[in-house]
Structure 1
């Protein structure tokens, strides 16, 4: 579910940081012009749009692109086809009534580019306007390109990773990142004591958080360089008996099985070396 709304800048609440580091707002945000987007429970495919007391159903194609929208009386209010690059064709209705394009993309009304989390995609050329942040680690020499076959694939561009720092064959730190793995591992050099690392790419932040939270719980506050809470456990550690909605706990055996498919790397002469780079 996603909410969006707009209001006058003067009504924007101010962020306050307390003496204990807690971040709060000095007042509630206005909720005028509120739009709520509902997604399929097992994916990022939009299924409905709610505006005040109006409800719209969204129909998507086989790879998750919206193609039709109906109001609560069954009237067609929006329809579109796509060309090979993801540009809208045969549009019926307002272009911004549904701003979602190819799965994982959100159209910027001012520029016409599609926001894809880490980069902007140009539907006129079928390419990104900036390089792939994971570089050659993706084994794709076309750093500005979209997927190889847009009839079969989509680029959700979650780019979330769960990684582990290792020394003497033992995990010494568990972490997650949205940044290129090479950059994030480099951040730890000189700060954490490790010589190797391994990582897996997962579909989104919840998936990476599930692995991290479970691994930290399984460590039981011992043997890692992660920061501790006051209760002796690690920050971000999950409690299997009190999981938030939509979260999953993994046993250590399950995590070990997942990490068998991990990419690996090492620190050599103070530099990050990814073993999968050709």
Structure 2
């Protein structure tokens, strides 16, 4: 995969950079399993394929009601498919070692978006990645056509095209640029699993699934959604806020 860009990308140049990175990652790829030999009481094994070059440690794969880290102490889930307070959430670091945390509080944003924000009982270790977001903006029309990673309950990473950003939502489509091996129609149980854009090679959280087919869900960098998630993190406590990737002026 190409190295990090020498300067911040703009919203309009993300696609060019991203296309090159996806082409390098998927060249010759025949498998998309992110984590194998999965278990919560001993180390699991990260997939021996292109996904190993990416950092999925911030995704908790131990339950179909997945949770995705946005700070060392906070996770996001689908509001309609969230884990209850008191649940155990298990993340795996790059060595496959499991890290168990308890969900101690949840704020649902269902009136704004299909998102629930949860707080963990203690911060995650440095080996588990909290994901950054795009800066909040209403000007992401240029993301249409970009490739993105779409994950599912079977711990796999698919590659779909962004169909468009509409208000506080983002939708995907199946594109012909990617092998059918890496396309899926999402089903019940995939809700809440995250989708990521590649920005300068970094996995950036853009959405969590709400509907089936190629997929659609809340767009986390819609200003209203971004502000609501950040406010929920503040209310839950812990001193963390959402982090963003720097973008050049459009």
Q: Which protein has the larger Cα radius of gyration, Structure 1 or Structure 2?
A: 1
Do Structure 1 and Structure 2 share a fold, with TM-score over 0.5? no
TM-score (norm 2): 0.25
TM-score (norm 1): 0.24
Choose between structure 1 and 2 for higher RCO, CA contacts under 8 A separated by at least 6 residues.
2
